[in-house]
Amino acid sequence: MKQHFITRFLVFFFSSILIIPSVLAQSAIKTTLVSGPGRDRSEGPAMVCDGEFATKWCVDSPRQMPYTIVLDAGQAASVVEYGLVTGDDTSSYTDRNPVAWRLSGSNDKETWTTLDDQKNNRSMPDEDFQECRFKPQSKGSYRYYRFDFFRVKGGTRIQLSEIFLYNTVQTPVETTFVSGSGSGSKEAQPQSRFGARTIQEGPEMVADGFLFSKWCIDEPSQMPYNVILDAGQPTPISEYRFYTGDDTHSYPERNPITWRVSGSNDKQNWTTLDEQKGNRRLRDENEQEYRFKPAQTGSFRYYRFDFIQMTAGTRLQLSEIKLFK
Ligand SMILES: [Ca+2]
């Protein structure tokens, strides 16, 4: 047992160190900044490719519009998907997301080929640290990628914490429920106009594909709560997503803030892939999606989520957990 504990500690210790490089070592292409407007220091353009969500590019310089960021992929690469990540305080400053931009590719930084043209895309949410993915209309093999941001949602200030380029497309992983904490059935109020009925709120509800059904548990003796999902075959994942419950706005403080993600191929030996402590990104809103990149990746069939702490109290609820490769 002791050796097992030490092994887990070492895995956790090294996975903590590896957070930044492994974010870049996912399917994202490692890029460096060629040029872009803005201050050089804390909120300069280089912050969009430093691999850290916590740092951002933020500029408000109308005379420099459109804001042009040029990234160097190091060698020619074919981008099939790209991600724009909102800033650390976009939920407080709700007009800074881009709504019109163009992506171009080049191999000499002089002749540019348009790959994507977004004229009025308002899909980026006013939430902190949210990655929004887009598929360019055209593809080709280019070393340099250029973003021209023409307009933001309001005013002239733009902010982005990261820009990711991908040479593989992210696809959802089909999962089935294996096991989890709680039985989760409860009687509905008998005065409901539908009459008395049983509402299922067991752990299997996070993998039924519906946002209106949820896992809801308040059993302090069973903490930390866990759920295990089966990907069917060994599958590396680049992202996992949590979806808040259908009534989280009315019943706040049920979101997880401290959790661990592990992978296994035998459901006995688990490798820690991600560890979040006091992460308050999930907001008290209904059926909201939150995306996380695991610090480590590996080819595992089973994925286990341990929920160690909630915003407050001991009740946890989530409507879905989804995996992406
Ligand atoms: Ca569900």
User: Domain map of the chain by residue range?
Assistant: 25-166, 172-324
Q: How far is the CA of 318 from the centre of ligand 1 (A)?
A: 8
Q: How far is the CA of 206 from the centre of ligand 1 (A)?
A: 4
* Residues paired with 276 in a beta bridge: 259
CATH tag, 172-324 = 2.60.120.260
From the options 2.60.120.260, 3.40.50.620, 3.30.540.10, 1.10.10.10, give the CATH code of 25-166.
2.60.120.260
Q: How far is the CA of 258 from the centre of ligand 1 (A)?
A: 21
Q: How far is the CA of 241 from the centre of ligand 1 (A)?
A: 13
Residues with CB under 5 A from ligand 1 (ion): 205, 208, 210, 213, 319-320
- pLDDT on residue 171: 87
Length of the chain: 325
Quick count: other Cβ atoms within 10 Å of Cβ 21? 11
- pLDDT on residue 205: 95
Residue 65 is encoded by which pair of tokens? 């519009």
Is the overall model pTM greater than 0.85, yes or no? no
Q: How far is the CA of 261 from the centre of ligand 1 (A)?
A: 19
Q: How far is the CA of 89 from the centre of ligand 1 (A)?
A: 29
Q: How far is the CA of 325 from the centre of ligand 1 (A)?
A: 20
- pLDDT on residue 28: 85
Q: Do domains 25-166 and 172-324 have the same CATH topology?
A: yes
Q: How far is the CA of 289 from the centre of ligand 1 (A)?
A: 12
- pLDDT on residue 51: 86
- pLDDT on residue 127: 87
Between CA 233 and CA 91 the distance in angstroms is 38
Q: How far is the CA of 225 from the centre of ligand 1 (A)?
A: 17
Digit-by-digit pLDDT tens for the chain (325 residues) are 444 555 555 444 444 433 333 333 246 899 999 999 997 678 999 999 998 888 999 999 999 999 999 999 999 999 999 999 999 999 999 999 999 999 999 999 999 999 999 999 999 999 888 889 999 999 999 999 999 999 999 999 999 999 999 998 888 999 999 999 987 655 444 555 555 556 789 999 999 999 999 999 999 999 999 999 999 999 999 999 999 999 999 999 999 999 999 999 999 999 999 999 999 889 899 998 888 989 998 999 999 999 999 999 999 999 999 999 9
Q: How far is the CA of 257 from the centre of ligand 1 (A)?
A: 20
